[in-house]
A and B are shown apart, each in its own frame.
Chain A
Amino acid sequence: MAYPFKHERETRVLTEAFGDPAARTIEGWKKYGGYEALRQALGMSPNDVIEVVKASGLRGRGGAGFPTGVKWSFMPKDDSRQPHYLLINADESEPGAFKDRELLRWTPHQVIEGALIGAHAIRAKHVYIYMRGEFFEPAQIVGRAIEEAYEAGIAGADMMGSGIGIDITLHIGAGAYICGEETGLMNSLEGRRGQPRIKPPFPAVMGAFSRPTTINNVETVSAVPHILRRGPEWYKSMGTEKSPGTKLFNVSGHVVRRGNYELPLGFPLKDLIYDVCGGIRDGRELKAVIPGGSSVPILAAKECDIALDYESVAAAGSMLGTASVIVMDDRTDIIRAVRRMVEFYSHESCGQCTPCREGTEWTAKIMRRIEAGEGTVEDLDTLLDVGRNMTGTTICVLSDSCAAPVASSIAKFRDEYMARMRREAPIDALTV
């Protein structure tokens, strides 16, 4: 079976063309119905496009799950005084997430089509795709697709003979996790340090280049052409009532078949792990799952009987986030895994806010000490206290994201921490 693998329980909408390199060209993409939705959208008023997306119930796939149509409707209805911008967030850098990269490298035209439709809806005349710097391969594929779209008269002035003109530019970053935060991304696009901004003003009022701006994730805009073409009712027929549609689940860690699987929202987590991904490697037992990328609280094995939609995962005390499921088997050293995540946040803190700049650093130091078997019970209290002071006290949520896995792992795997204090557990038990 060739990569990327498919599973019979998948509903392949966004991923239909995965594995077909021909879909990277306009001609190939048109065989999948490509650019029909754009033609349709250009014949509609911007408000009508927003209404269709609102009716579909599509929610942002970048992590927060905010309804996309509603977000678009925040944009001013008058663009005569100042230009509007649409930014596509392709700065995928959440540990665990690898869905946008696959969308960009297999279906660049799907992303471009969705972005152009979104730009028309919010009356933007320029789209920037902000892609993380490490993605050189997807950047070349998308860059080529953009030039191809211009040559075919799909982007640029007078798109498809509609009289509407929208430009699209690929922008590649230079390595900073925080540029995936929407206001950090805007600063970085403007040629500044990628430090998040205080909201308000919200991007729809004053965003990139101080103009009204909307920021959408790659996967979000990729769903838009399908919704236009097949109708909001069709989209709502998949998934759950409050979380309609399909979602790319990117599974990593100790499963047999890691990869991206497109499934309707509300799919059971256990089925994803044991059926779609073929179970835990080497016949081991499940120990813990991080359901939405490293920034969300950890779930212990006994909490994993849940459905994967925004509400159900939240009810279980975690978040669906980017649906980046990190699976850990029973040999995993939780302390080491958490320490590594904390080191990441410590490295990526932009340094603007004191609770984050200091908190991530001290949390990392204490976690290192605990991992080495030199921690004390008081350290756990200190970690929780530092974590509380890091939550809700900063401009963006990087600091909260650092505190979440620490607090949840202490709550759920306290025994393991306590055993390490007494130096009973092996320190180097993680490597498989």
Chain B
Amino acid sequence: MAEQKTELRGGNDGWAGERGDFANLSEADVRGESYVGVRPLEGRAAGGACSYPYQLAEKHPDAPLFEGPYHERLEKIRSRYPDAQGALLPVLNLAQEIHGWLSQADMDRVAEELGLSPVYVRGVATFYTMYNKAPVGTWLVQVCTNVCCNLCGADEVMKAFLEHTGTEPGETTADGAFTCIEAECLGACGFPTVVQVNERYFENVTPDDVPAILERLRREAPKQER
């Protein structure tokens, strides 16, 4: 872990973001102290089968949906609901986890798998904001600008992300690395400004932290098949 700044910001001492230096914090620091950092156990019970992140840097846009290990996950998910429709959200999550976004073909495939009509699945998928209806960058940067973060300067953080990536909200950078959007409350109001980058929260972010966060993400980006 990088050398800690001696001057702590804001009073939430000990919390990852307060140490600044987002470029070099360890994963555990970003996740909060002693993040267990593990996927669910591969239990036969499948009670945790729906707990996988579905907004990842690594995307496989050309991979066939629901084959091999993904098919096993799908079956586990289905086993947890009294009817096929109940499994719709978790299965859409799984599709987005694999492809990185939900195309109409993906939604149709999910409909076929669950025995639902394609138009019904599309109607449900478009209700929810976390389903990407178009491809997004390797890193989807979501800045919370709702009231608690806003009181502490979230609009400035959003501005900094747009400036440093040279994009408009929702636009992806030419290299495909970043898409920055405003988000509604992310449920971590005590640590403003909260920025969700894919499956990870960066907390207590100030405009000055933005270049370091972007630098870190560029370094971490997986080699993409785009």
Min CB–CB distance A98 → chain B (angstroms): 5
| B90 CB contacts on chain A under 8 angstroms | 171-172
- Contacting residues of chain B (104-144) with chain A, CB-CB under 8 angstroms: 116, 123-124, 127-131
A282, chain B: closest CB distance, angstroms: 11
Give CA–CA (A126, B151) in the complex, Å. 41
Query: How many residues on chain B are close to A (CB under 8 Å)?
Result: 73
B65 touches A (CB below 8 Å):
no
Q: Does B192 contact A (CB under 8 A)?
A: yes
Bound CA–CA A88/B43 (angstroms): 21
Task: Given A3-B15, A144-B41, answer yes or no on A341-B147 (Cβ-Cβ < 8 Å).
Answer: yes
The verdict on B36 contacting chain A, using a C-beta distance below 8 Å, is yes
Q: What chain B residues lie within 8 Å of A404 (beta carbons)?
A: none
Task: Pick the contact of B11: A150, A260, A278 (CB < 8 A).
Answer: A278
A3 to chain B, nearest CB (A): 4
Q: Are B50 and A258 in contact (CB under 8 A)?
A: no
Q: How many A-B residue pairs have CB under 8 A?
A: 246
Task: Output the least CB separation between A10 and chain B (Å).
Answer: 15
CB nearest to A174 among chain B residues: B128
User: A66-100 toward B: CB 8 Å interface, digit per residue (1/0)?
Assistant: 00000000000000000100000000111111101
Inside 8 A of B80's CB, which chain A residues have their CB? 167, 169
CA distance A162 to B196 in the complex (A): 43
Docked Cα-Cα span, A142 to B192, in Å, equals 24
Contact assessment for A172 and B93 in the assembled complex, using a CB-CB cutoff below 8 Å: yes
Chain A contact residues (Cβ within 8 angstroms of B): what range?
35 or more
A141→B130 CA distance, assembly (Å): 20
- Option from B86, B89, B156, B187 in Cβ contact (under 8 Å) with A98: B187
Q: Classify the interface of chain B: helix, strand, loop or mixed.
A: loop
What residues of chain A lie closer than 8 Å to B191, measured between beta carbons?
A: 98, 258
Contact call A431/B35, Cβ cutoff below 8 A: no
Which of chain A's residues have a CB closer than 8 A to the CB of B15? Answer: 3
Residues of A within 8 A of B88 (CB): 191
Question: Which parts of B47-70 form the interface with A (CB within 8 Å)?
Answer: 47-55
Q: Which residues of A contact B85 (CB under 8 A)?
A: 190-192
Q: Are B187 and A326 in contact (CB under 8 A)?
A: no
In the assembly, what is the distance between CA of A252 and CA of B31, in Å? 20
Q: Is A105 an interface residue (CB 8 A)?
A: yes
Task: Please determine whether B12 and A258 come into contact, CB atoms closer than 8 angstroms.
Answer: yes
Contact assessment for A142 and B185 in the assembled complex, using a CB-CB cutoff below 8 Å: no
A159 within 8 A of B: no
B171 within 8 A of A: no
- Which B residues are in CB contact (< 8 Å) with A189? 86, 89
Chain A's closest residue to B28 (CB) is A21
B152 at the interface (CB under 8 A from A): yes
Name the residue in A139, A251, A324 with the highest tally of chain B Cβ atoms < 10 Å from its Cβ. A139
CB of B190 within 8 A of CB of A251, answer: yes
Offer 13 A-B interface pairs, CB within 8 angstroms, sorted by A: A3-B12, A5-B13, A93-B187, A95-B185, A133-B54, A140-B36, A140-B52, A144-B39, A147-B41, A147-B43, A147-B47, A258-B189, A326-B151
